């Protein structure tokens, strides 16, 4: 059985030990987030397919860096991704601050992330 495509939003606080790394070495933070998601069972691999991340975008605000990546999603097309209905994936949020937390994103967050990428 194939794994379902998911979009991961990583939010890194300026108080996080990952703050500098989030901007300078985003792929390392993606690997860290993916490891945390697997450990928490929010992301599972069926054994036939590994959750290879596809880095989509990063953005830095004053006190937060956002990184978005997809897993199990080989059909991402940046030319059509912004069109309604072409890019709607379930979103999981990973928060890296003084504490670490993860959850399935609310409908509002899911819609915003999908609309902006």
Query: pLDDT value at position 47?
Result: 60
Strand intervals (E) in 14-80: 54-60, 64-71
| 3-state class (DSSP) for residue 39 | helix
Residue 77 is classified by DSSP as: -
Structural domain includes residue 1: no
- Burial category of 106 from C-beta neighbours within 10 Å (exposed 0-12, middle 13-18, buried 19 and up): exposed
Structural domain includes residue 105: yes
Which pTM does this prediction carry? 0.90
Range of the domain at 107: 6-116
Tens digits of pLDDT across the chain (117 residues): 357 889 999 999 999 999 999 999 999 999 999 999 999 988 876 665 677 899 999 999 999 999 999 998 877 887 887 777 778 899 999 999 999 999 999 999 999 998 888
Structural domain includes residue 67: yes
Q: What are the structure tokens assigned to 33, written together?
A: 């987030």
């Amino acid at each position: 059985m194939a794994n379902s495509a998911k979009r991961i939003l990583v939010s890194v606080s300026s108080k996080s030990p990952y703050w500098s790394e989030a901007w300078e070495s985003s792929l390392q933070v993606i690997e860290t987030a993916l490891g945390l998601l697997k450990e928490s069972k929010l992301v599972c691999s069926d054994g036939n397919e590994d959750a290879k991340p596809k880095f989509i975008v990063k953005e830095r605000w004053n006190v937060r860096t956002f990184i978005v990546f997809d897993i199990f999603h080989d059909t991402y097309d940046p030319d059509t991704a912004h069109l309604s209905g072409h890019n709607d994936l379930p979103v999981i949020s990973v928060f890296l601050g003084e504490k670490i937390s993860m959850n399935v994103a609310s409908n509002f967050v899911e819609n915003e992330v999908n609309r902006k990428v």
